[in-house]
Amino acid sequence: MISVSDCFFKVKKDCYKFISSEETKKEKFRNKDKMIKSYLIPVSFWIANKVNKKKPIIIGLAGGQGTGKTTISSIINLILVKYFKLKVFKISIDDFYKTRKERYKLSKKVHPLLMTRGVPGTHDIDLILRFFKIMRKRNFKSLSLPKFDKSIDDRFNKNQWYKIKSKPDVIIFEGWCVGAKSQKNIELKKPINSLEKMEDKSMKWRKYVNFQLAGKYKTFHNMLDCLLYLKAKNFSLLRRWRLKQEKKLFLKSKNKKNLKIMNKNEVLNFMMTYQRITEQMFKTAKKFSSIVMTLNNQHQIINIKFK
Protein backbone atom coordinates (compact mmCIF):
# COMPACT_ATOMS: atom_id res chain seq x y z
CA MET A 1 0.00 0.00 0.00
CA ILE A 2 2.91 2.35 0.83
CA SER A 3 4.40 1.70 -2.62
CA VAL A 4 1.08 2.48 -4.35
CA SER A 5 0.72 5.72 -2.37
CA ASP A 6 4.31 6.69 -3.09
CA CYS A 7 3.82 5.96 -6.79
CA PHE A 8 0.60 7.99 -6.87
CA PHE A 9 2.31 10.96 -5.24
CA LYS A 10 5.08 10.89 -7.86
CA VAL A 11 2.94 10.39 -10.97
CA LYS A 12 -0.34 12.19 -10.26
CA LYS A 13 0.78 15.58 -11.62
CA ASP A 14 1.80 14.08 -14.99
CA CYS A 15 -1.30 11.87 -15.09
CA TYR A 16 -3.58 14.85 -14.44
CA LYS A 17 -1.81 16.85 -17.13
CA PHE A 18 -2.36 14.07 -19.68
CA ILE A 19 -6.00 13.55 -18.66
CA SER A 20 -6.63 17.27 -18.96
CA SER A 21 -5.32 17.18 -22.55
CA GLU A 22 -7.90 14.47 -23.37
CA GLU A 23 -10.88 16.27 -21.86
CA THR A 24 -13.30 18.55 -23.69
CA LYS A 25 -15.58 21.22 -22.24
CA LYS A 26 -18.48 18.77 -22.14
CA GLU A 27 -16.56 15.56 -21.44
CA LYS A 28 -14.64 15.48 -18.14
CA PHE A 29 -13.00 12.48 -16.47
CA ARG A 30 -14.61 11.45 -13.20
CA ASN A 31 -12.94 9.76 -10.22
CA LYS A 32 -9.43 10.31 -11.64
CA ASP A 33 -7.71 9.51 -8.33
CA LYS A 34 -9.49 6.16 -7.98
CA MET A 35 -8.78 5.17 -11.59
CA ILE A 36 -5.07 5.87 -11.18
CA LYS A 37 -4.56 4.67 -7.61
CA SER A 38 -6.89 1.66 -7.39
CA TYR A 39 -6.53 0.29 -10.91
CA LEU A 40 -3.78 1.64 -13.18
CA ILE A 41 -0.97 1.79 -10.61
CA PRO A 42 -1.56 -1.87 -9.53
CA VAL A 43 -1.57 -2.86 -13.24
CA SER A 44 1.71 -0.99 -13.70
CA PHE A 45 3.27 -2.81 -10.72
CA TRP A 46 2.12 -6.11 -12.23
CA ILE A 47 3.77 -5.25 -15.56
CA ALA A 48 6.97 -3.94 -13.94
CA ASN A 49 7.36 -7.22 -12.02
CA LYS A 50 7.35 -9.14 -15.31
CA VAL A 51 10.05 -7.07 -17.04
CA ASN A 52 12.99 -9.04 -18.36
CA LYS A 53 15.95 -6.82 -19.25
CA LYS A 54 17.15 -9.30 -21.90
CA LYS A 55 14.13 -8.81 -24.17
CA PRO A 56 11.06 -6.55 -24.20
CA ILE A 57 7.84 -7.77 -22.65
CA ILE A 58 4.99 -7.35 -25.16
CA ILE A 59 1.70 -6.37 -23.54
CA GLY A 60 -1.48 -6.62 -25.58
CA LEU A 61 -4.30 -4.25 -24.58
CA ALA A 62 -7.71 -5.01 -26.07
CA GLY A 63 -11.18 -3.50 -25.77
CA GLY A 64 -14.08 -2.51 -28.00
CA GLN A 65 -14.38 0.76 -29.90
CA GLY A 66 -14.34 3.78 -27.61
CA THR A 67 -13.47 1.89 -24.38
CA GLY A 68 -10.50 4.18 -23.70
CA LYS A 69 -7.64 1.92 -24.76
CA THR A 70 -5.46 4.82 -25.87
CA THR A 71 -6.09 6.83 -22.69
CA ILE A 72 -5.51 3.90 -20.34
CA SER A 73 -2.41 2.64 -22.19
CA SER A 74 -1.01 6.21 -22.18
CA ILE A 75 -1.44 6.52 -18.39
CA ILE A 76 0.14 3.08 -17.81
CA ASN A 77 2.98 4.14 -20.11
CA LEU A 78 3.46 7.33 -18.10
CA ILE A 79 3.55 5.45 -14.76
CA LEU A 80 6.03 2.85 -16.04
CA VAL A 81 8.37 5.58 -17.30
CA LYS A 82 8.01 8.09 -14.45
CA TYR A 83 7.97 5.78 -11.43
CA PHE A 84 9.61 2.56 -12.58
CA LYS A 85 12.15 4.26 -14.91
CA LEU A 86 11.39 1.79 -17.69
CA LYS A 87 11.73 2.39 -21.42
CA VAL A 88 8.29 1.95 -22.97
CA PHE A 89 7.12 1.98 -26.57
CA LYS A 90 3.37 2.22 -27.17
CA ILE A 91 1.69 1.65 -30.51
CA SER A 92 -1.76 0.74 -31.80
CA ILE A 93 -2.77 -1.94 -34.27
CA ASP A 94 -4.51 0.97 -36.03
CA ASP A 95 -1.08 2.30 -37.04
CA PHE A 96 -0.58 -0.86 -39.09
CA TYR A 97 -3.65 -0.38 -41.29
CA LYS A 98 -2.98 -0.96 -44.95
CA THR A 99 -2.95 2.24 -47.01
CA ARG A 100 -6.12 3.40 -48.80
CA LYS A 101 -4.54 2.26 -52.06
CA GLU A 102 -3.81 -1.22 -50.68
CA ARG A 103 -7.33 -1.54 -49.25
CA TYR A 104 -8.83 -0.42 -52.54
CA LYS A 105 -6.97 -3.24 -54.33
CA LEU A 106 -8.10 -5.70 -51.64
CA SER A 107 -11.72 -4.54 -51.98
CA LYS A 108 -11.60 -5.18 -55.74
CA LYS A 109 -9.88 -8.54 -55.39
CA VAL A 110 -11.79 -10.03 -52.43
CA HIS A 111 -14.81 -8.01 -51.23
CA PRO A 112 -15.91 -4.32 -51.32
CA LEU A 113 -16.22 -4.17 -47.51
CA LEU A 114 -12.44 -4.55 -47.21
CA MET A 115 -12.06 -0.94 -48.30
CA THR A 116 -13.25 -0.09 -44.78
CA ARG A 117 -10.37 -0.18 -42.30
CA GLY A 118 -10.73 -2.14 -39.09
CA VAL A 119 -11.26 -5.86 -39.44
CA PRO A 120 -8.50 -8.47 -39.58
CA GLY A 121 -7.15 -8.47 -43.12
CA THR A 122 -7.00 -4.66 -43.33
CA HIS A 123 -3.77 -4.48 -41.32
CA ASP A 124 -0.25 -5.08 -42.61
CA ILE A 125 0.13 -8.21 -40.49
CA ASP A 126 3.53 -9.10 -41.97
CA LEU A 127 4.86 -5.76 -40.75
CA ILE A 128 3.53 -6.46 -37.22
CA LEU A 129 5.23 -9.88 -37.18
CA ARG A 130 8.47 -8.33 -38.46
CA PHE A 131 8.25 -5.64 -35.75
CA PHE A 132 7.93 -8.22 -32.97
CA LYS A 133 10.76 -10.37 -34.34
CA ILE A 134 13.15 -7.43 -34.73
CA MET A 135 12.42 -6.12 -31.22
CA ARG A 136 13.41 -9.48 -29.76
CA LYS A 137 16.76 -9.66 -31.55
CA ARG A 138 19.86 -9.19 -29.40
CA ASN A 139 21.54 -6.85 -31.85
CA PHE A 140 18.63 -4.40 -32.25
CA LYS A 141 19.71 -1.01 -33.62
CA SER A 142 16.74 1.06 -34.78
CA LEU A 143 13.35 0.70 -36.43
CA SER A 144 10.82 2.92 -38.20
CA LEU A 145 7.10 2.08 -37.93
CA PRO A 146 4.03 3.58 -39.61
CA LYS A 147 1.65 6.04 -38.02
CA PHE A 148 -1.97 6.17 -39.19
CA ASP A 149 -4.03 9.35 -39.51
CA LYS A 150 -7.72 8.47 -39.05
CA SER A 151 -8.82 11.95 -40.08
CA ILE A 152 -7.63 11.23 -43.66
CA ASP A 153 -8.03 7.41 -43.44
CA ASP A 154 -4.43 6.86 -44.52
CA ARG A 155 -0.87 6.74 -43.22
CA PHE A 156 1.08 9.81 -42.26
CA ASN A 157 4.08 10.68 -44.42
CA LYS A 158 7.20 8.67 -43.53
CA ASN A 159 8.86 11.67 -41.90
CA GLN A 160 6.13 11.48 -39.22
CA TRP A 161 6.47 7.76 -38.53
CA TYR A 162 7.58 6.31 -35.19
CA LYS A 163 11.36 6.04 -34.79
CA ILE A 164 12.61 3.49 -32.25
CA LYS A 165 16.28 4.14 -31.54
CA SER A 166 16.85 1.84 -28.56
CA LYS A 167 15.29 -1.39 -27.37
CA PRO A 168 12.38 -0.77 -24.95
CA ASP A 169 11.76 -2.75 -21.76
CA VAL A 170 8.01 -2.79 -22.40
CA ILE A 171 5.96 -2.68 -25.61
CA ILE A 172 2.28 -1.83 -25.21
CA PHE A 173 0.36 -2.96 -28.29
CA GLU A 174 -3.26 -1.85 -28.16
CA GLY A 175 -6.17 -2.54 -30.46
CA TRP A 176 -9.82 -3.49 -30.57
CA CYS A 177 -9.22 -6.99 -32.00
CA VAL A 178 -5.89 -7.78 -30.30
CA GLY A 179 -6.15 -11.34 -29.01
CA ALA A 180 -9.39 -12.13 -30.89
CA LYS A 181 -10.00 -15.79 -31.78
CA SER A 182 -11.46 -17.15 -35.00
CA GLN A 183 -14.92 -18.74 -35.08
CA LYS A 184 -16.07 -22.03 -36.55
CA ASN A 185 -17.43 -21.65 -40.10
CA ILE A 186 -20.90 -22.74 -38.96
CA GLU A 187 -20.96 -19.77 -36.53
CA LEU A 188 -20.52 -17.39 -39.47
CA LYS A 189 -23.67 -18.55 -41.22
CA LYS A 190 -26.22 -16.41 -39.36
CA PRO A 191 -25.77 -12.66 -40.05
CA ILE A 192 -25.20 -10.64 -36.88
CA ASN A 193 -26.54 -7.36 -38.29
CA SER A 194 -28.06 -5.72 -41.39
CA LEU A 195 -24.64 -5.04 -42.95
CA GLU A 196 -23.77 -8.74 -42.97
CA LYS A 197 -27.26 -9.62 -44.18
CA MET A 198 -27.37 -7.14 -47.07
CA GLU A 199 -23.73 -6.62 -48.08
CA ASP A 200 -22.22 -10.03 -47.36
CA LYS A 201 -24.88 -12.45 -48.57
CA SER A 202 -22.24 -14.86 -49.91
CA MET A 203 -20.33 -14.77 -46.56
CA LYS A 204 -17.15 -14.07 -48.53
CA TRP A 205 -16.19 -11.10 -46.34
CA ARG A 206 -16.93 -12.93 -43.06
CA LYS A 207 -14.99 -15.99 -44.16
CA TYR A 208 -12.02 -13.91 -45.33
CA VAL A 209 -11.83 -12.01 -42.01
CA ASN A 210 -12.19 -15.23 -40.01
CA PHE A 211 -9.47 -16.91 -42.09
CA GLN A 212 -7.10 -14.04 -41.22
CA LEU A 213 -7.80 -14.53 -37.51
CA ALA A 214 -7.08 -18.24 -37.78
CA GLY A 215 -3.79 -17.60 -39.63
CA LYS A 216 -1.24 -14.82 -39.21
CA TYR A 217 -3.26 -12.95 -36.57
CA LYS A 218 -3.11 -16.06 -34.40
CA THR A 219 0.67 -16.13 -34.91
CA PHE A 220 0.94 -12.49 -33.82
CA HIS A 221 -1.37 -13.01 -30.81
CA ASN A 222 0.79 -15.95 -29.71
CA MET A 223 3.79 -13.60 -29.63
CA LEU A 224 2.16 -11.46 -26.92
CA ASP A 225 3.44 -12.12 -23.39
CA CYS A 226 0.08 -11.24 -21.86
CA LEU A 227 -3.24 -9.58 -22.63
CA LEU A 228 -5.15 -6.86 -20.77
CA TYR A 229 -8.84 -6.57 -21.65
CA LEU A 230 -11.21 -3.63 -21.15
CA LYS A 231 -14.68 -5.12 -20.80
CA ALA A 232 -17.68 -2.93 -21.64
CA LYS A 233 -21.27 -3.84 -20.77
CA ASN A 234 -22.61 -4.26 -24.32
CA PHE A 235 -22.25 -3.26 -27.96
CA SER A 236 -24.86 -0.47 -27.87
CA LEU A 237 -22.77 1.30 -25.24
CA LEU A 238 -19.73 1.05 -27.53
CA ARG A 239 -21.74 2.68 -30.32
CA ARG A 240 -22.46 5.63 -28.06
CA TRP A 241 -18.81 5.98 -27.04
CA ARG A 242 -17.60 5.66 -30.63
CA LEU A 243 -19.87 8.49 -31.78
CA LYS A 244 -18.34 10.73 -29.11
CA GLN A 245 -14.86 9.66 -30.23
CA GLU A 246 -15.54 10.68 -33.85
CA LYS A 247 -16.86 14.06 -32.72
CA LYS A 248 -13.66 14.56 -30.72
CA LEU A 249 -11.57 13.64 -33.78
CA PHE A 250 -13.44 16.24 -35.82
CA LEU A 251 -12.74 18.97 -33.24
CA LYS A 252 -9.01 18.10 -33.29
CA SER A 253 -8.74 17.84 -37.09
CA LYS A 254 -11.23 20.37 -38.53
CA ASN A 255 -8.45 22.57 -39.99
CA LYS A 256 -6.98 19.71 -42.06
CA LYS A 257 -7.66 19.19 -45.76
CA ASN A 258 -9.21 16.04 -47.31
CA LEU A 259 -10.86 15.00 -44.05
CA LYS A 260 -12.48 11.57 -43.85
CA ILE A 261 -14.41 12.21 -40.61
CA MET A 262 -17.60 10.13 -40.45
CA ASN A 263 -21.12 11.37 -39.76
CA LYS A 264 -23.48 9.52 -37.39
CA ASN A 265 -24.83 7.04 -39.97
CA GLU A 266 -21.34 6.33 -41.28
CA VAL A 267 -20.09 5.62 -37.75
CA LEU A 268 -23.00 3.24 -37.11
CA ASN A 269 -22.31 1.39 -40.39
CA PHE A 270 -18.60 1.35 -39.57
CA MET A 271 -19.34 -0.16 -36.16
CA MET A 272 -21.28 -3.00 -37.79
CA THR A 273 -18.05 -4.25 -39.38
CA TYR A 274 -16.64 -4.60 -35.83
CA GLN A 275 -19.71 -6.14 -34.21
CA ARG A 276 -19.14 -9.85 -34.80
CA ILE A 277 -15.60 -9.97 -33.39
CA THR A 278 -16.39 -7.52 -30.57
CA GLU A 279 -19.36 -9.58 -29.34
CA GLN A 280 -17.31 -12.75 -29.62
CA MET A 281 -14.64 -11.11 -27.44
CA PHE A 282 -17.28 -10.20 -24.83
CA LYS A 283 -17.77 -13.94 -24.39
CA THR A 284 -14.22 -15.26 -24.74
CA ALA A 285 -11.58 -12.58 -23.97
CA LYS A 286 -11.90 -12.85 -20.19
CA LYS A 287 -10.94 -16.53 -20.43
CA PHE A 288 -7.52 -15.87 -21.98
CA SER A 289 -6.70 -12.40 -20.60
CA SER A 290 -4.20 -11.93 -17.76
CA ILE A 291 -6.05 -8.84 -16.50
CA VAL A 292 -9.72 -7.92 -17.07
CA MET A 293 -10.83 -4.35 -16.30
CA THR A 294 -14.62 -3.95 -16.23
CA LEU A 295 -16.11 -0.59 -17.25
CA ASN A 296 -19.43 0.93 -16.21
CA ASN A 297 -21.79 3.01 -18.38
CA GLN A 298 -19.86 6.18 -17.49
CA HIS A 299 -16.59 4.87 -18.94
CA GLN A 300 -15.10 4.25 -15.48
CA ILE A 301 -13.17 1.16 -14.38
CA ILE A 302 -15.23 -0.42 -11.59
CA ASN A 303 -13.50 -3.77 -11.17
CA ILE A 304 -10.23 -5.46 -12.00
CA LYS A 305 -9.31 -9.14 -12.02
CA PHE A 306 -5.76 -10.49 -12.17
CA LYS A 307 -5.06 -14.08 -13.18
Domain limits at 227? 2-306
DSSP helix/strand/coil, 285: helix
Residues with Cβ < 8 Å from 199, sequence gap 6 or more?
Answer: 112, 113, 205
Per-residue pLDDT band for 119 (boundaries 50, 70, 90) equals: very high
What pTM, to 2 d.p., does this model score?
0.92
By C-alpha distance, which of 41, 49, 51, 42 is closest to 78? 41
- Rounded percentage of the chain residues whose pLDDT exceeds 70: 94
For residues 261-273, give the mean pLDDT. 84
CATH number of the domain that residue 56 is part of: 3.40.50.300
Do residues 163 and 147 lie in contact, with contact meaning Cβ atoms separated by under 8 Å? no
- Rounded percentage of the chain residues whose pLDDT exceeds 90: 77
Q: What pLDDT does residue 255 have?
A: 58
Q: What pLDDT does residue 65 have?
A: 87
Q: Bigger pLDDT: 212 or 307? A: 212
Number of domains making up the chain: 1
